């Protein structure tokens, strides 16, 4: 575990990119397997590389959002506006998750769809409402748990959550 923490501290952006490139893509693969009820690999090599690149790009935004919104919330606490929030507490974690997902989360969902559409050369905006609602029923609670952890473990757990969401969405979108 210490080797992982050292790696995350030494290479914060690169480690975020690698974790999301691998785990985010796995989440999409698992989702497709469940939807198609088949373990046939759902993407070609080029699409797989593109999906990994998309997740790596998104990871940079996610990493900076975690830091930026955390700094913003810390500033509000220091200014006395939310003086009762203690970093590491449930209230702090929930407030941070709510702030981040209702602002940055919406943009992230749209950017992710644009990048997926770009490589597939389609204009698929189907179920965007469900993607937006996932911020409420999945990402806000998931990131509340995430923000209760030490900073060095947050990005890793967020990447794992992308696999969990792939499982959930694949299960509910089965044909």
pTM: 0.93
Q: What local confidence, expressed as pLDDT, does residue 88 receive?
A: 86
> How is residue 137 written in tokens?
């029923």
Q: What local confidence, expressed as pLDDT, does residue 46 receive?
A: 94
Over the chain (175 residues), what is each successive 10-residue block's mean pLDDT? 97 98 97 94 96 97 97 91 87 96 96 91 90 95 97 97 93 81
- 3-class secondary-structure state, position 76: helix
Q: What share of the chain is helix, strand, coil (3-state, %, to 5)?
A: 80, 0, 20
Nearest one of 117, 134, 122, 115 to 172, comparing CA atoms: 134
Q: What local confidence, expressed as pLDDT, does residue 172 receive?
A: 83
Q: What local confidence, expressed as pLDDT, does residue 95 receive?
A: 95
> How is residue 33 written in tokens?
């397997």
Distance CA(28)–CA(163), nearest Å, equals 7
> How is residue 148 written in tokens?
């209760």
Cβ neighbours of residue 62 closer than 8 Å, sequence gap 6 or more: 16, 20, 108, 155, 158
> How is residue 139 written in tokens?
């990402």
Q: What local confidence, expressed as pLDDT, does residue 84 receive?
A: 83
Tokens 């913003």 sit at which residue? 72
Cβ neighbours of residue 77 closer than 8 Å, sequence gap 6 or more: 83, 85, 87
Q: What local confidence, expressed as pLDDT, does residue 144 receive?
A: 98
């Amino acid at each position: 575990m210490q080797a992982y923490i050292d790696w995350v501290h030494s290479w914060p952006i690169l480690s975020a990119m690698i974790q999301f490139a691998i785990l985010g893509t796995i989440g999409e693969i698992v989702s497709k397997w469940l939807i198609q009820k088949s373990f046939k690999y759902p993407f070609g090599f080029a699409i797989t590389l593109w999906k990994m690149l998309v997740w790596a790009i998104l990871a940079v935004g996610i990493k900076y959002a975690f830091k930026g919104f955390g700094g913003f919330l810390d500033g509000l606490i220091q200014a006395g506006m939310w003086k009762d929030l203690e970093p590491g507490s449930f209230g702090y974690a929930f407030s941070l998750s709510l702030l981040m997902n209702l602002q940055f989360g919406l943009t992230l969902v749209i950017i992710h769809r644009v990048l997926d559409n770009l490589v597939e050369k389609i204009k698929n905006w189907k179920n965007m409402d469900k993607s937006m609602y996932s911020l409420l029923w999945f990402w806000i609670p998931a990131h509340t748990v995430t923000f209760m952890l030490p900073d060095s473990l947050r990005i890793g757990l967020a990447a794992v959550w992308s696999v969990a969401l792939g499982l959930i969405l694949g299960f509910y979108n089965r044909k």
